[in-house]
Amino acid sequence: MSNQQTVSCAIALGSNLGESQQNLEQAISQLNQLPEITVNEVSSWYETVPVGPAQPNYLNGCALVATSLAPHPLLDTLLRIETQFGRVRQKRWGARTLDLDLLLYEDVVLDTPRLKLPHPRMRERAFVLVPLGEIAPNWVDPVTGSAIAQLKDTIDYSGILQQL
């Protein structure tokens, strides 16, 4: 990445169709190849129970990145990568080859029709907070003022089947 000013962001990754672990690792590689993004840290992968309709278990994880992109262009980049992996949005919480969610963008709080920051449901989801807590336990959620490690202590872990 050039010497433009960068910000720290947290991204959640998930997959439950195709070769999930390969999809996630290739998505990380694609992100890291973009000149506006540097992947700084990646969590372990976790096998998790799906939320929503009956479907295969997921592999989930999180990544910390530095980027020179503003929030909406970063979201567009994530959506473009999902599409490259064959992501088709048919039903809410349906199965997918790749899901990339922008969780945190520094301490920005944003509420637009296309993007809400921090991610509005991250505080309820073990499949987000467990991997995020592994790589960013001290990151403070700008809405609650709680560190990720504290938020992680308040959730039900039963949907986390195993760490890979």
pLDDT score recorded for residue 52: 77
Catalytic residue among 92, 101, 153, 156: 101
pLDDT score recorded for residue 35: 96
Catalytic residue among 96, 123, 125, 141: 96
Residue 88 binned pLDDT confidence (cut-offs 50, 70, 90): low
User: Is 80 exceeded by the pLDDT of residue 37?
Assistant: yes
Residue 98 binned pLDDT confidence (cut-offs 50, 70, 90): very high
pLDDT in tens, 115-140: 999 999 999 999 999 999 999 999 99
Strand 99-105, strand 7-15: pairing: antiparallel
pLDDT in tens, 46-83: 999 988 778 899 999 999 999 999 999 999 999 999 98
Question: Would you kindly state where each structural domain of the chain is located, as residue ranges?
Answer: 7-163
Span 7-163 CATH architecture:
2-Layer Sandwich (3.30)
What percentage of the chain exceeds 90 in pLDDT? 80
Residue 96 among the catalytic residues: yes
Catalytic residue among 80, 87, 111, 156: 87
Residue 156 among the catalytic residues: no
CA distances from 46 to 49, 71, 74, 85, 105 (A): 10, 26, 24, 20, 23
Nearest to 110 by CA among 77, 132, 136, 142: 142
Catalytic residue among 76, 92, 99, 141: 99
Q: Say which amino acid occupies 76.
A: D
E-strand stretches of the chain:
7-15, 37-42, 46-48, 58-67, 99-105, 110-111, 116-117, 160-163
Residue 111 among the catalytic residues: no
Q: Say which amino acid occupies 80.
A: R
Residue 101 among the catalytic residues: yes
* pTM of this structure: 0.92
